[in-house]
Structure 1
Amino acid sequence: MRHRAPDLYASLLSWWAHHGRRDVPWRLLPGGRQPGPDDVLPTYPVWVAEVMLQQTRLAVALPFWRRWLDRFPDLASLAAASRQDVLHAWQGLGYYARAQQLHGVATQLAAAKRQLPADRAGLERLSGLGRTTAASIAATVGNSADPILDGNVRRLLARLLAFPAPPRQATALFWTMVELLLNGRRARDFNQALMDLGALVCRPRAPLCRCCPWQRHCHAYAKGIQQQLPVRPTPTPIPRFVVGVGVVLDRQGKVLIGQRQPDGLLGGLWEFVGGTQEPGETMAATVVRALWQNVGLAVAVGPELLRFDHAYTHRRLSFVVYLCRPVAGDARPVVNQQVVWVWPHDLHRYPFSAAHIRIIQALRERSGQT
Structure 2
Amino acid sequence: MSPAPATPQTHAASTAAAVPDYAALRAEIAGWARKLGFAALGVAGIDLPEDAAHLADWLAQGQHGDMDYMPRHAALRGNPAALQPGTLRVISVRMDYWPAQAADAWQVLGDGERAYIARYALGRDYHGLMRKRLQKLAERIAARIGPFGYRAFADSAPVLEKALARNAGLGWIGKHTLLLSRDAGSYFFLGELFTDLPLPLDAEPAAHCGSCTHCIDICPTRAIVAPRRLDARRCIAYLTIEHKGAIPEELRPLLGNRVFGCDDCQLVCPWNRYARVSTLPDFAPRHGLDAALLCELFAWDETTWSARTEGMALRRAGYAGWLRNLAVALGNAPASAETRAALGARAQHENALVREHVAWALAAQQRKAARGTGQGSSRDAPVV
Pairwise TM-score range, normalised by the shorter structure: under 0.3
The higher relative CO (CA closer than 8 Å, separation ≥ 6) is in 2
Structure number with bigger Rg: 1
- The two structures have a TM-score, normalised by structure 2, of 0.24
- The two structures have a TM-score, normalised by structure 1, of 0.24
